[in-house]
Chain A
């Protein structure tokens, strides 16, 4: 199940989305050696987020990484990735959903929104296991926030899903609802597990942060230009004819 697009026209050029994708690509290229063994491992330790490291608990455990990445990892970890598939998958989701969310608030505000969602994701992941010594990397928490916001803004918009070789058009609420359900299930089943893998709680935390932040960060004047925003359909989706100038 893979989203390949949506029936949601973008109105303004999503500059911040492009810049964020560019920053992730640059980090992958320059700091992570495009995934080559030693450079990748060093970058994940240096720029990843290690919960135990924040609270000085690294000495007690047998950490994967040397201590020292500290609090800056909160920010840097969201531009790091673990593999080609990881970065490509994340960037694709951002490409599909980011433009319309950015359209609802403007580029500068979207950049702030994105970082806040990443921080929310990190906080959730830390809370799920404060003693973890495994570095967390990836944009997925912040992108989870973008998806949470998308769900709140455009639940009725049809998302095109590729399943094997067939595409389906399903409402965003179904696709994103399914996605968050999978993350929650993964999160609960991983609570007592140790070791690496998918940071489900980061996804959940980011998603929740995005869904809440969008309530205060969206710009209704920008949003009204989107035909399919909101939960209910109206006879005049874009509110065009509400304007007295457009009435007979």
Chain B
């Protein structure tokens, strides 16, 4: 009988080895992330006192019970026995007890020349416990390697669906203040930004198409392939400049921030591929 228990820092090497068996890049990054952010919300699956899997969640700050699934890997020797599904269901139940509302997971559709689509089983697994694909970021990780984001409602539909919510538009003064390559990607960039309390007398409230072009040029100079930006769905002023700067609409993560406030994803292709 395999059971989940909280992960400790002392489990780090074992966990990294399990991830390594499937994805070396992920293992390296996971080690760094665990070391930097700790292992809160992370769990290991133990079978006969031996760690055979890892799973975990991280809460999205500022949202109403939204979580991301963190690295979820199972020792290849134990795959296909229903253990992954059990591990996943145990974690989802944990979040339901914490009154979590929604959980998302990102999956690559990397097609390895030798091993084929290494994450296909993971996708099947997520779908089997109720995850639904919400959007696909084309060429997110690399040229030809897309990012699929799956979402799952943790609360049952009946209790959540009933009440209609009124979402107010917001017009924050967003200013971009940098750009950086997205961690697990090759050549995909995003912008960092700050929200100012007030706009200056002659400033525009929203960022402008010129602001976006500055960022686009900066990414181009770095040799970036694509830019991905995400915004909440209740900001009416962002759409015109995004479109004017050549951004395309990727899709949305439904009810990401709270019920009725989605996360909209946009992308700009720089053609440096």
Residues A248 and B248 in contact, CB atoms below 8 Å apart = yes
User: With A233-B167, A233-B169, A248-B138 known to touch, is A227 a contact of B249 (CB < 8 Å)?
Assistant: no
What residue in chain B is nearest A235 (Cβ atoms)? Answer: B233
Q: How far is the CA of A248 from the CA of B237 in the complex (A)?
A: 20
Residues of B within 8 A of A247 (CB): 248-250
Among residues of A, the one whose C-beta sits closest to the C-beta of B247 is A246
Contact with B along A204-248 (1 / 0, CB 8 A): 000000000000000000000001100001011110110000111
Is chain A's interface secondary structure helix, strand, loop, or mixed overall?
loop
CB-CB nearest in chain A for B139: A248
Nearest CB to that of A227 among chain B residues?
Answer: B236
In Å, the complex CA distance between A248 and B264 comes to: 13
Q: Is the CB of B234 within 8 A of A248?
A: no
- The smallest C-beta distance from A247 to any residue of chain B, in angstroms, reads 5
The answer to whether B250 and A240 touch across the interface, beta carbons within 8 angstroms, is no
Chain A's interface size range is: 10 to 19
A-B contact count (CB 8 A): 43
State which size class the interface on B falls in.
20 to 34
Closest Cβ of chain A to B231, distance in Å, is: 10
The one of A228, A233, A246, A248 that contacts B243, using a Cβ cutoff of 8 Å: A246
Q: Does B213 contact A (CB under 8 A)?
A: no
Q: In whole angstroms, what is the CA distance A81 to B207 when docked?
A: 44
Contact, CB under 8 Å: A227 / B237: yes
Q: Which residue of A lies closest to B240 (CB)?
A: A238
Tell me which residues across on chain B come within 8 A of A233, comparing CB atoms. Answer: 167, 169, 234, 236
- B169: chain A residues within 8 A (beta carbon): 156, 228, 233
What residues of chain B lie closer than 8 Å to A246, measured between beta carbons? 243, 248-249
Beyond A227-B239, A235-B262, A248-B267, 15 extra complex contacts between A and B, CB < 8 Å: A227-B236, A227-B240, A228-B236, A233-B167, A235-B252, A236-B239, A238-B240, A240-B240, A241-B239, A241-B249, A246-B243, A246-B248, A248-B137, A248-B138, A248-B251
Show 17 A/B contacts (Cβ-Cβ < 8 Å), sorted by A.
Answer: A156-B169, A227-B240, A228-B169, A235-B233, A235-B252, A236-B239, A236-B249, A237-B236, A238-B240, A240-B240, A240-B243, A246-B248, A246-B249, A247-B249, A247-B250, A248-B138, A248-B251
Interface residues of B (CB under 8 A from A): 137-138, 167, 169, 233-234, 236-237, 239-240, 242-243, 248-252, 262, 264, 267
**Lowest 3 CB-CB distances: which A-B pairs, in order?**
A241-B249, A235-B233, A237-B236
